[in-house]
A and B are shown apart, each in its own frame.
Chain A
Amino acid sequence: MIGWIFIVVCTLSLIGISLCVVYDKRPRFLRHVTAITILCIWAAALWTLIRRFSEGLGAVAGVNDLAPWGLWIGADVFAGVALAAGGFVIAATVHIFRIERFKPILRPTVLTAFLGYVLVAVALFIDIGRPLSWWHPLVMWQGHSIMFEVTWCVVLYSTVLAIEISPVVLERLGLTRLLRLVKATTIPVVIAGVILSTMHQSSLGSLYLIVPGKLYPLWYSPLLPVFFLISAVAAGMCVVIVESFFSAKILKRGLESSLMAALGKAASFILFLYLLIKFSDLAASGAWDLLYERNLQSNMFLLEMLGGVALPAILLSFQRIRNREKFLLSASLLVMAGIVLNRINVSWIGMSVHDQLNYYPTWMEIALSLGFITAGTIIFFLAVHYLPVFPKTEEEPPEAISAGSKTGLMPA
């Protein structure tokens, strides 16, 4: 109970801090509140980790024999990977399709993706029962397993992201020779990244192809891999919008508004495509009738589809909305929420054994997830602070950094 109150307070505080940033309100205590909230979350996350590694998953998480995968898989891994999809989308846009005007946001996007994958890897390390054997899939091959394929893709793609982001570090260290070498390999590396991403983004959906008897028909479909891939592309774009917005606010730099609007437009197209395929599939499979049943599954499905897909798709299709920062931001946040909800629905709400939900997350699972989100954010801004991630702009005033530090999200 105390744990849950703690979670609610921390979450509200994080939302409050974000709102302050959005509305450019910088009350004096903001920095302290931020620091205290984050430290509390990390303390709880640390406590969770200690117990996880000493007493086992069962001691901290709600997972059990009927629901072996919980929030750490559904939200941290599935949603985390999907939200990091911006990395391959923007890299392909710039380097393969040669739409160079997206170049200014390439580095921050790849950095976000890289950090996202690192966190996913850490989450997996914590969640698998025998973390010290994590490398087994790399040497003990079992090519018939989707999980095997996903492991390989994630490992390889993390490497690709590391290479893609390495120029930032090399530039900073002034290693021009190495830098030129990395730059020469850009295009093949980017192509490899796109292929690997396509493979594992869709394969996360394929993981569920094996459970036609357990996953609710509103979500189960032979097209699951397609849905996972398409939704990840749209969500990845919206993450880029949100991330650019907050970077602009915190670093006091200009927002590439036209790029953001273009991304919003593209996301809207993809979401409409997603809706079209999703609903034709429902109609074809006969699961459509389940929409009229008023149960938890159909309600959650409608919430996900209407609130997280249809609404933002419509919003983003209007130029007037796309051109207004805060509307664009809200619509993008809806898409992000929609994809998180979708992954949670597939991995939790839709999965039932004996016609019932068998899993409820504990506050500790949520604490660790919040720990991931805050850690990722802070590492991002630290990296941005110390490395040449954003393009140099003349109008960037030296006060930008001190202004950023006032939010408490950056070191002074």
Chain B
Amino acid sequence: MNQHTPDMKGFSRRRFLQGVIGGTGLSVITPSSFAKDPGKTSFANTPSVLVDVTRCIGCRACMRACKNANELPDNTDLSEGFPISWEHQELRFDQWTVVNPSTGANANGDAVTRNIKSQCMHCLEPTCVSVCPVGALTKSELGPILYNADRCIGCRYCIMACPFDIPKYEWHSGLSPVVGKCQFCTRNRLSQGRLPACVESCPTGALKFGRRDSLLFEAKARIDSYPDRYINHIYGEKEAGGTAWLYMSDVPFENLGFKSSVETSPMPPLTWDVLSKIPIVAAAMAGLFGTLAWSLNRQEQSE
């Protein structure tokens, strides 16, 4: 937890990885610990990825890399080798990232096509973690949101609640279905000092890994240097209170099918504000009804 303190400004990849290997980095924090101290500064060094939509050529190398790195079944045409088919792909419990072409109007009103990579956004204040009744979804100490099937009861609240509709479910398993979503390669690669598989596989530099504040800085610098080339909106900077995955584009995001209805404030307080009042209300009710029942009872007995 104290790794989130601002003195981590000198965050370097080596130090981050030392922390991870040292074991502390993989221990999880509960939502309560980060709700108590939401200190926004601690989000600055969250491992993040900047996606430059204008640089993505849609080769889907990242999709295959993800499947290989996470031992997900290559049950799609992706196994056929390069180049692959261009059928539309959906996220599934065993397909954690997809790239699909999306056509929308750019700032001049011309219809253009861009390739959009989707995966879990790894929210700084994740909705899924706050709604899960058993803590099967957790925010690891360094940031990525991890899923633990051993705890999951399969209630699917995370799927219903995620503002980006990311977690997917294994609908055809009788007794032990799992929820599937991008794990940011935390256990299998980050902890061994390697980049996320998708980032490593990207041939064009459309995906860039780094700490969140430097990526935001870089994105803003790119927008400043090429104001004609980029729209002035970094998707993920504010959405759902901020996410680790950040997108920049030359086409307004809502035209490319990004969810524009996502609130810009963190979601968990929406329920926590109510939940946290319950003990007081319950205590008040106990007092009220207790007194009422007791006094009415006495009145009856004295009559």
Contact = CB atoms under 8 A, between A and B. Distances in A.
Interface of A: 52-59, 63-66, 68-69, 92, 95-98, 128-134, 136-137, 140-149, 151, 187, 190-191, 194-195, 198-199, 203, 206-207, 209-214, 225, 351, 353
A363 B278 CA distance: 39
B271 A210 contact: yes
Interface residues of B, number: 60
Given A137-B133, A145-B130, A211-B160, A130 B154 contact: yes
Contact of A136 (B134, B286, B297): B134
16 contacts: A56-B174, A63-B156, A65-B92, A65-B171, A69-B156, A92-B289, A96-B292, A136-B134, A136-B151, A144-B268, A149-B278, A190-B293, A210-B161, A210-B271, A213-B163, A213-B263
A213 B173 contact: no
A99 to B, nearest CB: 10
B168 A65 contact: yes
A351 B127 CA distance: 17
Contacts of A351: 160
B278 A199 contact: yes
Contacts of A187: 293-294, 297
Contacts of A59: 171-172
A57 B290 CA distance: 44
Interface string B153-179: 111110111010100111111111100
Interface stretch (B29-37, B103-111, B213-221, B228-236): B29-37
B155 A63 contact: no
Contacts of A69: 156, 160
Nearest to B268: A144
Q: Which 8 A-B pairs have the closest CB atoms?
A: A129-B154, A58-B171, A68-B156, A213-B261, A147-B133, A148-B133, A68-B159, A130-B154
Nearest to A64: B171
Contact of A212 (B151, B176, B263): B263
A57 B173 CA distance: 7
Given A128-B153, A129-B177, A187-B297, A147 B131 contact: yes
B35 A144 contact: yes
Contacts of B270: 209-210, 212
A195 B282 contact: yes
A49 B196 CA distance: 41
B15 interface: no
B32 A143 contact: yes
Given A198-B285, A210-B127, A131 B169 contact: no
B300 interface: yes
A199 B263 contact: no
A191 B294 CA distance: 11
Contact of A140 (B127, B134, B156): B134
A277 to B, nearest CB: 16
A59 B174 CA distance: 9
B132 interface: yes
B86 interface: no
A146 B271 contact: yes
Given A98-B296, A136-B134, A209 B274 contact: yes
Contacts of A128: 153-155
A53 B297 CA distance: 51
Contacts of B285: 191, 194-195, 198
A378 to B, nearest CB: 28
Contacts of A210: 127, 130-131, 161, 267-268, 270-271
B131 A68 contact: no
Given A209-B270, A353-B165, A145 B151 contact: no
Contacts of A92: 289
Given A56-B173, A129-B154, A209 B271 contact: yes
Contact of B176 (A130, A147, A191, A194): A130
Given A195-B282, A209-B271, A133 B152 contact: yes
Given A65-B169, A142-B133, A147 B175 contact: no
B160 A68 contact: yes
Contacts of B262: 213
Given A96-B296, A143-B32, A210-B131, 16 more contacts: A65-B159, A68-B156, A68-B159, A98-B297, A129-B152, A129-B173, A133-B153, A142-B133, A144-B35, A191-B286, A191-B290, A195-B286, A206-B271, A207-B271, A209-B270, A214-B261
Contacts of B127: 210
A142 B300 contact: no
A108 B228 CA distance: 73
B169 to A, nearest CB: 6
Contact of A56 (B35, B90, B172, B297): B172
Contacts of A198: 281-282, 285
B159 A134 contact: no
Contact of B174 (A52, A68, A137, A225): A52
A261 B97 CA distance: 60
B153 A137 contact: yes
Interface in B241-271: 259, 261-263, 267-268, 270-271
Nearest to B270: A209
Contacts of A54: 174
A191 B297 CA distance: 14
Interface in B47-93: 90-92
Contacts of B292: 96-97
Contact of B134 (A58, A132, A137): A137
A397 B159 CA distance: 56
A142 B161 contact: no
Contacts of B294: 187
Given A53-B174, A59-B172, A211-B161, A130 B131 contact: no
B153 A129 contact: yes
A211 to B, nearest CB: 6
A287 B238 CA distance: 25
Nearest to B163: A213
Contacts of A131: 154, 175
